[in-house]
Amino acid sequence: MSIDYWAVGTLDITPPVPLAALRELLDSPYAPLAIAPKGTTEDEAKKMDGEWFAVAADDAGTDDQGHPTTIGAVIVNHDGRSFTALERLRRLAACCAADTEFDGEVLLEGEAGDTGFIAQTEEGDLYLWWD
């Protein structure tokens, strides 16, 4: 039996990542990364259609299609397996430069009451800790 988890949180991305680098995640058939306007909060994202949001960087310009040129954060509001959230965030990190920092955490709460969080380690990896 698998246990489902609710994953919610925001990771700020420094330096912002070019939108083009996230193309694989934007076009994913499973829970695609949706583009959210600058300044979108977790509460606002909960009202939007989707579970994974790429938030435009504060200083992002726009391309010829009106999309932001850079992404400064990712907001997660996802139901699924814990390893799914971790794997998607690691795929995000793989699209970024090696020196990219992810500030914040994604909290996990399981249907059985267990909790944990995903955050960046001092070594720069994204890791899942259980409480």
Which tens digit of pLDDT belongs to each residue from 93-122? 999 999 999 999 999 998 888 999 999 999
Write out pLDDT tens, residues 16-71. 999 999 988 888 877 789 999 889 999 998 888 888 999 999 999 999 988 999 99
pLDDT of residue 115: 94
Q: Of 117, 113, 115, 19, which Cα lies nearest the Cα of 68?
A: 19
Q: What is the pLDDT of residue 110?
A: 87
Q: Is the pLDDT of residue 82 over 90?
A: no
Give CA–CA dist 29/4, Å, rounded. 20
Locate all alpha helices (DSSP H) within 1-131, ordered by sequence: 23-26, 42-46, 82-94
- Label residue 14 by pLDDT band (50, 70, 90): very high
Residue 2's pLDDT band (boundaries 50, 70, 90)?
Answer: low
